[in-house]
Structure 1
Amino acid sequence: MPKHPRLTRRGTTFWHRAAIPVDIRSTYPKSEGTFSLRTKDPRDALIRIRKAAAEVDARFEAHRKLLRRAGEPPVAELSKAQLQFMEDRYYAHLLDEDDQLRLDGFFEPEDPAPAFPIPSFDDYVETSEAFGEDARFLLARGKMDPFMQAEVEEVLSWEGLGVQLAPDSPDWKLAAKAITKAIVRAQTDIASRNRGDVVETPDVEIPRVAAVTGAHLASVVRQEWIAEKSKTVWVPKTCHEHSVWSQHFLDLVGDKAIHTYTKADARAFKRALQGLPANWNKHKSLRGFRFTEAASRASALGLEAMSNKNINKIMNFVSSMWLWAERQYDEVTGSPFKALQIDIRQRARDERNPFTAEQLKSIFNAPIYNGCHSTRAWQKAGTLVPTDSGRFWVPLISLFSGARLGEIVQLRTSDVREEQGILQFAMVDEGEDQRLKNENSRRRIPVHPMLMELGFDKLLQRRVEQGSTRLFPDLAMGKDGYYSSPFSKHFSRFLGLVDAKTAKTSFHSFRHNFEDACREAGVPVDVMNALQGHGEDGMAARYGKGHVLRTLDEWLRKVSYPEIDLSHLQRALKA
């Protein structure tokens, strides 16, 4: 018997037998890919089994694609090109089936009884004519029966289309019409073949966008983009965010040449995001669902959608791939996400409130400032004031400098420098573990006199004597590559314990307190923005270097908080 892993024999006839792959076994319609090869000849069986195995594997793969597509959002309409492709492809498919049937041969009265039913030529002619007449009947009346609908669903899954049509789409009738026209055309040609005429089966070219000369598949571009960014500017958290959401985008709209994506693709992604809740993959009701399935399920369950701000942030993650690709490839001329951002009327200031006077008093009278049990048990009252800890200094520095959390916790000892007799914080990203929000964030901030009164100069001296690279070595870096992440979680818990936590208060509130204090002191807007690292035309040139540091220092000295009393900190330091 010839050797092939799927070749088997039942009696004297050879059969194809293949187990259904595990990944599709639960959904594939047959328990086994078993069928007769309709031959008793070993050599002929070996030829047929190779072809049959390839066809079965193709059906397995088609089923996998069908499963993947089932989780994707349906399209509302089909293009004229898609409808024409459906008709031409189905027409060619029917003629190809006819070719195969004629190659297998018809049953003749003088032939021995077949193991399986084989039509006679007369039966086949009669069936073909009836099939064609039914199609003409439906075509003439513009009707669609269940068979046509099932055929539309099948053809839409074929390579070259690979789409799922929305149940309420008006294009179902157009798609059924395309299939019906293909049947009428094919049966007309099959009738000619039945008369002995020569009708060739056409080759229908399957559109392959990625095959265009010079085109670059988005999936390949994505890998190159991630590889380069991961080696240069991205920390693990940034890499994870960009990787995950760009893959979700490709899963939703498909992988094709990077320059062929349109705003329609970006809008589809935007719509999907608008249906998802924040942290959707942590929702019990959405756990285990793919992104392409989760949006529609979340809408059906009535889950609260993520914020518009978060949607814009995610779209920026994906859009940045095109901004990078535009610099790498001639054919990429922009991002499909351009101008698709959701307008948010709320001012940035309105997203967070400054701390009230009472909240500031609660914060700076907490055990960590009045005396705690230990550096670990900072929430319990005691006698230790941990003036060597970043948890003690970081809030104070932000209150008296307007600096961001991430800028403060990543400070190196060498970033606190003296120039023109003025001690200053140099907000830089010179170290591999240092990052700034934007170009305007690179700046210098004089150290406020109150910080000096509280002993900041002594802390700096200790760090220099210890040879410490970082100003706050006790503040560890998070798993995402940011020093700010662990501190942010700590401070959120801290605010809750001192009863200063609301929906609009966070560490960032200190920056708003500083901004209000600057206004109260009459600090010019451009000076205030220079201190906080806000971008304004001409500001960087005026306050970036040279003698202007003294101007910043003069204005910063005017900033105060008369509503809070920090004298207990000074007494604690002297004790």
Structure 2
Amino acid sequence: MGKVEIKKSLKTSDYREAQLRGRIERVKIDAEWETLRRQLSPAVVSELSEREAWQLAARWFVDFEKRNAEKSDRWTSLEDAERELAALSTPENIATASYQEAEHMLAKDGLRLVPGSHSWTRLNGFIRDGLIEAARRDIARSFPLVALPTDPQFAGLTASTKLQPVAKITVKKLIAHVRSDTTRSPMSKKTTLKRTAQWQAITEFFGADTDVAQIGRPRIREFIDLLQKLPSNATKHFPDATIFEAVQLAADKKLPVLATETANDYLRTLGSLFRAAVREEWLTKDPSDGLLIQAKTKVAAKDKRLPFSYDDLKAIFSAPLYTGCKDDEAGYNVEGTKIVRRGRFWAPLMALYTGMRLNEVPIDAR
């Protein structure tokens, strides 16, 4: 933003009103900072298809060729050039060079892949091949009469090649596509209002101009965290607030948050957007697949039980049945010398060590 401080007029002379408006303005400014922080952080791309990886690699190769073509120095010794090519081609050197080029290219585009992932390996492989091809072309420029093998996958790519920009679909465009898709079942008025509110929340959180291909599971988990703090009926409580502002204001007022099922409905709507992008081949898969908030299991009052204490267990297993009883019939609770290891003896032990209820213990042991 380029500012050290931000000045806002609250447009009121009333002290209490100024306090309220000041709080709202602070929340709005915090939301602006949050947006800027997200923009500064590289987007984590969960997966690249082979086509997407190749598009990135092809664009990198053309740029790399431009840099090579601009170099003023040329090889004067073919032997030195071939030695340099051989050195570059060693596994250790080519791995280092391709890693550095891939990192530089991704950083330039504001992207980040996890090194070692399938997508990283795929992209790195293209760049590794491109470095070898570029080195051969560099030799050919210095020694035009020398015939060197070329890599057919880079045929047609030169410093002057004009590549079409990689097509992307933004959050805003994807929602507009889904909204206008005539192949979908029409929504009722009530559903339309609900979806519109959900789409608005999704747009505010992820950013209208964000490429959906750059939205990965870590970012979706952050959305889940926010949903669990979002108040119910947020648009009614705070009609002019963003979801970030609504969360902060609701926390100040200690308002109840969304029910788990309602929050999950937001996630299902997000998933439906991703699946629409998959159908249109803008994405290779739905990054939100399987991400839902797990509801806390409620235990009915009749099923609630207090655990046995140490004294309880001591009393149970100090009974004559375990220390010595008269017999295993009517005298099982009368002190004696017999320890009869039959059903009555084993059932409590099985329940203790397995957690089974008494009616779950096998009949033969009861």
> When the two structures are superposed, what TM-score results if normalisation uses the length of structure 1?
0.28
Q: Identify, as 1 or 2, the structure richer in helix.
A: 2
TM-score by length of 2: 0.41
Higher relative contact order (Cα pairs below 8 Å, separated by 6+ residues): 2
